[in-house]
């Protein structure tokens, strides 16, 4: 029993020494990895990029200026990912003499092609079909002009909206102004004027044209 104690003690010392040397070697392999991420075309900062070690998936995120800093090991493969840029990687050299290493990482823009998305205001096809069939399409300017020039609409307007004193006064002033404006030249026809058509139909219904023919005879 007395002979086993020195052997166990020596073995324990060797194990402790090996663990201590291995820990020292690992500490010597650690490096403070810092750098800045910029674009390859405009050399502007790439903010909020993901930087992590490939094996351990540990890392950090760049700030608004593209700067980052974290502890890694020599020989680690560092991955860089940022939205809108192609992924990049970098291997920390294992020949570094100091425990600090800096890097300027360039990122190339990546064009993302998304599939087309068609958004409809109807949740189902049946509601779309019903809305498509029953939806009233508003009239354009040409259709509105055609409806205004229909004889039936003009007669209805003449019966529904008879001219009062103010309307007669405004019409008289407009006619006088038009005559002064076209003084010495041919005046344009009022065939496309709904108000003139209303006056014509009203005068025709009141028999004013017959009275004029009778007086001429």
pLDDT per position as a tens digit, 15-36: 444 444 444 444 558 999 999 9
Q: Which two three-digit tokens encode residue 52?
A: 């992590």
Averaged pLDDT for residues 41-55: 92
Q: Cα(87)–Cα(81) distance, rounded to whole angstroms?
A: 5
Instruction: Determine whether 119 is exposed, middle or buried from the number of CB atoms within 10 Å of its CB (0-12, 13-18, 19+).
Output: exposed
- CATH code at 29-107: 2.60.40.1120
38 falls in which pLDDT band (50, 70, 90)?
very high
**Contact call for residues 86 and 110 (beta carbons, < 8 A):** yes
Position 23 scores a pLDDT of: 41
Which residue from 25, 86, 89, 22 is spatially nearest to 55, judged by alpha carbons?
89
Q: For the chain, give every domain's residue range.
A: 29-107, 141-216
Pairwise pLDDT comparison (194 vs 217), residue with the higher score:
194
Averaged pLDDT for residues 71-98: 92
pLDDT per position as a tens digit, 110-163: 887 778 888 878 888 888 888 888 888 888 888 887 777 776 666 666 655 556
């Amino acid at each position: 029993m007395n002979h086993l104690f020195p052997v166990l003690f020596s073995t324990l010392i060797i194990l402790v020494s090996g663990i201590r040397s291995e820990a020292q070697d690992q500490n010597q392999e650690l490096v403070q990895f810092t750098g800045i991420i910029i674009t390859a075309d405009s050399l502007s900062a790439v903010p909020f990029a993901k930087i992590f070690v490939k094996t351990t998936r540990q890392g950090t995120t760049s700030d608004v200026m593209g700067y980052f800093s974290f502890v890694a090991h020599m020989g680690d493969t560092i991955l860089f990912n940022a939205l809108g840029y192609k992924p990049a990687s970098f291997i920390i050299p294992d020949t570094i003499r100091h425990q600090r290493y800096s890097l300027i990482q360039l990122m190339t823009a990546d064009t993302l092609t998304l599939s087309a998305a068609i958004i409809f205001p109807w949740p189902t096809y049946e509601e779309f079909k019903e809305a498509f069939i029953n939806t009233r399409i508003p009239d354009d300017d040409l259709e509105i002009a055609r409806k205004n020039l229909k004889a039936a609409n003009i007669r209805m307007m003449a019966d529904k909206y008879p001219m009062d004193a103010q309307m007669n006064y405004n019409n008289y002033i407009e006619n006088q102004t038009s005559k002064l404006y076209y003084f010495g030249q041919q005046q344009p026809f009022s065939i496309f004027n709904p108000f003139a058509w209303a006056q014509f139909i009203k005068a025709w219904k009141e028999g004013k044209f017959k009275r004029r023919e009778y007086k001429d005879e």
